[in-house]
Amino acid sequence: MNALANIARLWRDRGGVVAVEFALIMPTLVVLLIGTFEASNLVRV
């Protein structure tokens, strides 16, 4: 029963969800930001 209680407690714990979501989304945002700068340089020239 103790093992099941530990698993249930870990399942409910949402402490690291924001950090994981940020780690998954941030590389995409950086690529979009760099691409925007590069595209603006291409249009300007």
> How far, in Å, CA of 20 to CA of 29, rounded?
15
Q: What pLDDT shows up at residue 7?
A: 80
CA dist 37 and 40 (Å) reads 5
**CA nearest to 1, candidates 45, 21, 9:** 9
d(CA 34, CA 17): 26
* Residue boundaries of the structural domains of the chain: 14-44
pLDDT values of the chain reduced to their tens digit, one per residue, 45 residues: 688 888 888 778 777 888 889 999 999 999 999 999 999 988 886
For 27, the token pair is 């590389």
- Of the candidates 8, 7, 24, which has an alpha carbon nearest to the alpha carbon of residue 16? 24
Per-residue pLDDT, 45 = 67
Q: What is the pTM of this model?
A: 0.59
